[in-house]
Amino acid sequence: MIKEMINIIMNMGASSLLPVMVIFLSICFGIKTGKAIYSGLMIGAGFAGIGLIVDMMNSNLGTAAQAMSERFGLALNIVDVGWQGASPMAWASWIAAVAIPIAVTVNIFMLWCGLTKTVNIDIWNIWHMAFTGALAYTVTGKLWVGLLGVIVHAVIVFKLGDLWAPWIGGYFELAELTVPHGTSAYMAPVACLVDLMIEKIPGINRINFSIEKLQEKAGILAQPVVVGGIMGSGVGFLAGYRPDKAFPLGVEMAAVMVLMPKIVKCIMEGLMPLSERMKRILSKRFSGREFYIAVDPAVLLGDSQVVTAGLIFIPLTLLIAMLQPGNQVLPFGDLATVSFFIAIAVAVHKGNLFRVLISGSVIMYMTLWISNQTYPWVTELGKKSGTVTGSFPVAAMDQGGSPISYLYIQLFERQNMTGFLVVGCFYLVCMAASVYSFRKQQP
């Protein structure tokens, strides 16, 4: 019964679930009912708009990416089902029934003890925590390992929320908000390490390529709408499309560049009353402490540099998959939304696309490597949850390629100790670089 109720709620999706949560919390925090409803619906409209654009990217850009991989003869036999395939696995598992109350309890406890400043209202993205728990339970067969996995992932998420807040408020200008969930948050530490390393290399540390700098030299031809049109058409031609199919794809990507920032503004308008109200009340109750409201990483797609980098990484990720030794995973489900993997990295590099290309390549290489290790686990979870019915194995770059899930489960399974030690040590160094970079951001 509880599991069925959870599934009903989660099937609403972020565009419906988050508005309901915002309306409920707004009224609880003393915002007038009319304003609360308006705010919730504005947020819902924003996420519905993002959903329409992401669906368009998946159906059109994703199809082009698949055609591109076939054209270049990528003999990869394990298909990435993406977050669209991974999230149902999490919500269909037994762990999902307790993941939300566990995550909320962990957040309240950490706030009460002063262990985090992140206030999570993004209930939908608790699926990442549920996935770690469900995968751990599936692999080990131990319920307590699965439940602990939800807790461990939740703790890491709320600390990541604190860590990335200066960049979210600085580069993205989303003051008092943070993005702790998903690939954007847990892969950004790689960008911090790369950024620190590049700063130490004379000459290389002066290279700075961005849309803004390109606009200074190319003028209107470097406007985001033009860049989107060129990049989209380029992907179409790489896929082998004729001009009558490649150019429409370019127009659609130009539309993404124009519409995304406008849609994100709707979400920000809806979030601000609750954000300001919660900050005043929490600061008063907790002696003037600072708090950040955790939101979906989709809000970062309003930045033209993020979308541009995402378009670049569609063919680049396929190239990495083709060149990576031993890789069996074909990037597919997450390919059209690869922007999520490098969104916070763009902020870490202050929009410098040269550095994003380097750190993003490391991020995608690492994601694919981990996905190759976890695909048997993901396939088993999919079959047990009833979301995978075929006889072919599947992978999930989003969450199935997460170092958090991989390292946690390997603590108990120890199937590949060399890989565990290499990834573990590298990720710890990345986290140390992130903490160092965070402290440099402080006044």
- DSSP string of 148-172? HHHHHHHHHHHHHHHHHHHHHHHTS
Is 53 a domain residue? no
- Candidates 69, 48, 81, 121; CA nearest to 296 is 121
Count Cβ neighbours within 10 Å for each residue of 376-412 and write b for 16 or more, e otherwise.
Answer: ebbbebbbbbebbeeeebbbbbbbbbbbbbbbbbbee
Between 105 and 330, whose confidence is greater? 105
Cα gap 443→38, rounded to integer Å? 36
Task: Return the amino acid letter for 24.
Answer: F
Is 51 a domain residue? no
Residues 138-197 have pLDDT tens digits of 999 999 999 999 999 999 999 999 999 999 999 998 888 899 998 999 999 999 999 999
**Token code pair at residue 330:** 């074909």
Is 408 a domain residue? yes
Is 220 a domain residue? yes
Confidence of residue 58 (pLDDT cuts 50, 70, 90): low
Give me the residue label for tokens 């850009």: 61
Residues 219-272 have pLDDT tens digits of 555 566 777 787 788 878 888 888 888 888 888 878 877 777 777 677 777 777
pLDDT computed for residue 89 by the predictor: 82
Is 425 a domain residue? yes
Between 286 and 411, whose confidence is greater? 411
80 SS3 class: strand
Q: Which domain holds residue 282?
A: 2-45+58-441
Strands (E), 62-140: 78-80, 118-120
pLDDT computed for residue 374 by the predictor: 94
Count: domains in the chain: 1
pLDDT computed for residue 3 by the predictor: 55
Most confident by average pLDDT, 121-135, 241-255, 296-310, 423-437: 423-437
Sheet hosting strand 329-330, strand order edge to edge: 329-330, 78-80, 394-395
Cα gap 227→218, rounded to integer Å? 11
pLDDT computed for residue 75 by the predictor: 63
Residues 4-46 have pLDDT tens digits of 655 555 566 556 667 777 788 788 878 888 888 888 888 788 7
Residues 6+ apart with CB under 8 A from 369: 324, 327, 419, 423
Is 175 a domain residue? yes
pLDDT at 280 over 70: yes
Find the mean pLDDT for residues 309-321: 87
- Indicate yes or no: pTM above 0.75: yes
